[in-house]
Each structure stands twice: as structure tokens, then as C-alpha cells.
Amino acid sequence: MIDADTVARHDLPGHLRSVPDEIEARDLPVTGALPADLAGRYVRNGPNALPGTTTGHLQVGPGMLHGVRLRGGRAEWYRNRWVRSGAVCGRSFVTPDGRLDLAAANANTHVVRHASRVLALVEVGFPQEVTPDLGTVGPCDFGGRLTTGMTAHPKRDPDTGELHFFGYGMRPPFLTYHRLDAAGRLVRSREVGVPAGTMMHDFAITEHHVVWLDLPMTFDLARVGRGMPYGWDDSYGARLGVMRHDVPDAPVQWFDIEPCFVFHVGNAHEDAAGRVVLDAVRYTRDEFVALWELLSRTITPPPPSAPPVGRGHLHRWTLDPGSGKVAEERLDDRAVEFPTLDDDRVGRPSRYLYTVTGTEPLSKVKSSIVKYDASGAVTAWDMGPDTMLGEAVFVPAGGSGGGARGEDDGWLITIATTRDGTASRLLVLDATDVAAGPVATVELPRGVPTGFHGSWLPD
């Protein structure tokens, strides 16, 4: 058990402040009625500084998993556990001779299940296998076959069950594509040529393609040791790449786009004309640089003349491999983040996408869950000004692959934390009627820091 009286993370606001210990609570209070088909664990990951330490960047620090067990209409337990990697085990990510120890990276960004493994992920290192009860098993390199980091945003093909992912590096190879088969074996790895090491946080797949995001956040040696070693490079340009993943060593077709940055992809698909359509949350140069500077220093209010911070907007690119042309359009004026969807629609045409507003650290925008319909309709549920909402994860009604159902026939699960960080609740919303608000609320025994990404792990 790790314990301490005080802990901080570079003066973060209350809802982001690290917790000092690991606890467990059972038989949590529930308001409303938990859906009977929710049988499993919701687990969410995020950075959480060790007691008595601070970090120099919002995205840096040991990973901590927060889990809630639901079954039979009850919330059986809550527990939180540090992922026993990197700093938690006293291991440095950089070895004395300057190499990177991929097994020692802090797995602090996401948690997913594939085949028989539950994996805590961070893009700069190996995944860390954990148990369904949040204990750490150890680093996973898939039998020695993985030699790069693993993105925190792998994509499972809903038809084949394969898991597509990639690793990026500060030194060559700068980008490597990988694929696990449905049984969890690493069966494919290939280098993808890009000019330099860039911070590629996410990517997309379609039925036949991978979509790469080669954007102007490049490795900057001068930033090493000062948080995240990446900075905006106006000279790099920005482009999207389309690569067949079902053809060995297929070339990448690149499309130049207006300079921007993307943390998170919504979805991508191939349309009837053979074009690749990508939806993602896009930041302009000024928006992203202001956000990056905010994330990289002690959080203090920016000057009044500063550009809007963290105002990413839902955007669409349509890439035509036949003509080599690309069309770009903003889909909505809301500032949103953390897009999610029904995982059974990944890489295929999808009608619905779910996002969250008010996620930037100093946001004055009320936190909401926003549901986008491909028809153009947008619905939302507003949490109010005093509470921050995390990513909303979609859970199919009756379980994934449970037969014919509507695409939004299921539940959205998120954690809501008061702005001062003193209290948190697990919320369950009916995805068919987001505007109605939660059908059930689970009171958690502590304030849970607003973290990054999570998954529903069904029984």
C-alpha cells in the first residue's frame, strides 16, 4: 500500500490533483437504477503523482487505475491502484547510457482488454498487463516481438478481432505499424517512413486502411528533462497518410493539410466512392500552442490577450485516393474532446459519436456530454458549472455482439468530479436519450482526479 498525507501535481486545480493513497470501498450507494445488463468493471487510467512529488506536465507521472465493479444492479466495489511501472517501482525511463527503457515507462493514459490480457497503456513504452482487480502483472512485449512503444489508442477491427496499433520514437524508426491477431499474438510489424520523430497520439483504421496523422509536434532535444520533449515546428507541415493494412508493405499515400494538431480521433470509414472519411478533434496552431504551454507549466491563468486555450473542434477530412485531393470542414463550433463511439463501429460508417465539453484545465465552460448524429442532429446533457466530466465510454446494451440492436442502444459511463476535487460520482446515461441525464448515479468514496481514458470490461 502506498500512503502519504500530502501529494500535489504542479499546483493543478482541485479536480486534477493527485490522490495520496490506494483505498477500497464496497457496496457503494446508488441513486436511480443501474441497468441489469451492466455486469463488469469500468476502469479508468490517468497520471497520479507519488506522495510528496510533483510533475512538470499534465500528461506526465505514474499511472493510476480507478475501477468500479457493477453487477446485478449493485455497485459492488470501488478501488484505485497505481500501475506498478516506472517511477512507482523506482525505475527510470532513461538508462544511464541514454537509452530508453520501454518497460519502465509510466503506463498512465489508457486501459484496454484484448484477448486474455488487460493492458495499461502509454504511448512511449511497453504496455503493462494488469489484472481485472487492478493489480499489476508486469510489462508485456508479446513474447519479445514488440521493440517499440505501443500507442495508448489501439483500434480493434470489429470483423476480424485484430488489434491495430503503432509505436513512435524520438530516433529511427520514427514510426512502426503493428498488428495483433484475435488471440493476442503479434503477427505483423513494419516501419513506416516519416521525416522525423513526431508526437503521434492517435490514428484511425478503416476496413482496409490505416490513417496516419503526421503533424507538426516534433521531438525537441532542448525540451528533454523538462516535461514532454515535443514542440510545435512551423517548418514541418501537416499531412494525413492512407495505407492499406491488408496488403503487406503497401505504400502510404500522403495528403497535405492545413497545419493543426489532433489528440483524439472519433472514427474513420470508407465511403461508397472509395474515399476515406476521418472525423477527429482538431486544434489550430494557436489553440494548440497555448494549450501545450499551459500543460507544461504550473497552472496559472493566462493573460487576457492570450488565444483561447484547449478549444478543439470536431472536424472532418475526406481523402480521395483516386484524385489525391482532400476536403476539410468543421462539423461544429462547440469546444469538445474525448470522442467515443460504439466499438463495434470502429473503422466502419457510424451514425453516432459522443464527446465531452469543458475539459481544458482552466475552462469556464460548463461540462456536458454531447451526442452527434450523422443526420446533423446534436443533443447534449449539461452537468453544470461546478463539476467536470470525464470521457464517456459507450457500453452496448446486452453486451457487444449480442445480436441486432440500434447503434446507440446502450449506456454511457463517465466519472464526474467536483471542480474542487472533493467528491466524485460514476454516472450511467441511456445513450438513446442523452439529454435526459443519468439513469443511475454511484457515489464514489473519494474525489477521483479527472483523468484520461477508460474502458468497460464486461464479465
Residue 301 has pLDDT above 60, yes or no: no
- What whole-number distance in Å separates Cα of residue 27 and Cα of residue 17? 26
* Cell numbers that stand for 226 in this block: 523538462
* Cell numbers that stand for 33 in this block: 437504477
**Residue with grid cell 453486451, as numbered in its chain:** 399
Per residue in 248-289, pLDDT tens?
999 999 999 999 999 999 999 999 999 999 999 999 999 888
Whole-number pLDDT of residue 58: 74
Average pLDDT of 160-187? 97
Whole-number pLDDT of residue 231: 87
Share of the chain above pLDDT 70, in %: 88
> Quick one: pLDDT band at residue 437, thresholds 50, 70, 90?
very high
> Quick one: pLDDT band at residue 452, thresholds 50, 70, 90?
very high
Whole-number pLDDT of residue 307: 52
- What whole-number distance in Å separates Cα of residue 304 and Cα of residue 53? 31
Per residue in 13-69, pLDDT tens?
688 888 999 999 999 999 999 999 999 999 999 999 888 887 656 777 899 999 999
> Quick one: pLDDT band at residue 12, thresholds 50, 70, 90?
low
Residue 139 has pLDDT above 60, yes or no: yes
Distances (CA, A) of 423 to 387, 417, 442, 443: 9, 6, 11, 8
Residue 420 has pLDDT above 60, yes or no: yes
Whole-number pLDDT of residue 3: 32
Q: Determine the length of the chain.
A: 459
Q: What is the mean pLDDT of the chain?
A: 90
Whole-number pLDDT of residue 149: 96
Collapsing DSSP states into helix, strand and coil, what is residue 16?
helix
The continuous run of DSSP H or E covering 288 comes out as helix 285-295
Cβ–Cβ under 8 Å, residues 389 and 414: yes
- What whole-number distance in Å separates Cα of residue 201 and Cα of residue 166? 10
> Quick one: pLDDT band at residue 133, thresholds 50, 70, 90?
very high
Please give the domain boundaries of the chain with CATH numbers for all domains: 130-448 (2.120.10)
Q: Which region among 94-103, 119-128, 219-228 has the lowest average model confidence (pLDDT)?
A: 219-228
Per residue in 327-357, pLDDT tens?
999 999 999 999 999 999 999 999 999 999 9
User: Which residue would you say has higher pLDDT here, 389 or 363?
Assistant: 389
Task: Please list, in sequence order, all residues whose beta carbon lies within 8 angstroms of the beta carbon of residue 424, skipping any fewer than 6 positions away.
Answer: 415, 416, 417, 418, 444, 446, 447, 448
Whole-number pLDDT of residue 305: 58
> Quick one: pLDDT band at residue 298, thresholds 50, 70, 90?
very low
Whole-number pLDDT of residue 297: 58
* Cell numbers that stand for 282 in this block: 482538431
User: Which residue would you say has higher pLDDT here, 362 or 90?
Assistant: 90
> Quick one: pLDDT band at residue 189, thresholds 50, 70, 90?
very high
Whole-number pLDDT of residue 406: 93
Cβ–Cβ under 8 Å, residues 261 and 217: yes
Q: What count of Cα atoms within 13 Å lies in the side-chain half-sphere of residue 99?
A: 6
| Phi-psi category of residue 102: left, alpha or beta, with phi > 0 → left and psi -120 to 50 → alpha | alpha
* Cell numbers that stand for 257 in this block: 493539410
Q: What share of the chain is helix, strand, coil (3-state, %, to 5)?
A: 5, 40, 50
Whole-number pLDDT of residue 294: 72
**Which one, of 271, 347, 262, lies nearest residue 313 by Cα?**
262
Number of helices (H), then strands (E), in the chain: 1, 33
Q: What is the DSSP letter of 172?
A: S
Cβ–Cβ under 8 Å, residues 434 and 379: yes
Whole-number pLDDT of residue 245: 97
- What whole-number distance in Å separates Cα of residue 223 and Cα of residue 400? 43
Per residue in 199-250, pLDDT tens?
999 999 999 999 999 999 998 766 665 556 788 999 999 999 999 999 999 9
- What whole-number distance in Å separates Cα of residue 258 and Cα of residue 370? 26
| Phi-psi category of residue 385: left, alpha or beta, with phi > 0 → left and psi -120 to 50 → alpha | alpha
